[in-house]
Amino acid sequence: MNKKELKTIAENLIDTFHLAGKESIKLYNEGLKIEIKDDNSPVSNGDLHVNDLITKKILELTPNIPIISEETVDINIKNTSKIFWLIDPIDGTKEYIAGKDEYTLNAA
């Protein structure tokens, strides 16, 4: 992939991340549903919804590049791809759940 293609992909993700940010705030204001994952860390419906929004857009833009997401990864399957998307839909879930604005939405 060349720089122009990467720039186009990044530009095409801007609106999705803007929407995902708004959705995360909306879901927080409506009252989050929180579960505890196997690793004892929290996950909310906000994390899962943001993950879905970002994943769908990335699949649309780059259908042949695998996606590894904190919220959907199977830790029993080792990633062997040299090129892949890594998503942490809400980095700072504890802060997000606590109503702080110290969290980010990430894909790389």
Question: Tell me, what's the pLDDT at 1?
Answer: 84
Per-residue pLDDT of the chain (108 residues; tens, 9 = 90+): 899 999 999 999 999 999 999 999 999 999 999 999 988 999 999 999 999 999 999 999 999 999 999 998 877 888 899 999 999 999 999 999 999 999 999 999
- Bridge partners of 29, per DSSP, are none
CB 95 within 8 A of CB 28: no
96 forms beta bridges with none
Does pTM top 0.85 for this prediction? yes
Is beta strand 104-107 parallel, antiparallel or unpaired with respect to 67-69?
unpaired
Tell me the one-letter amino acid at 41. Answer: S
Please tell me the distance from the alpha carbon of residue 55 to that of residue 61, in angstroms, as a whole number. 10
Q: What's the pLDDT at 73?
A: 83
Q: Is beta strand 67-69 parallel, antiparallel or unpaired with respect to 85-91?
A: parallel
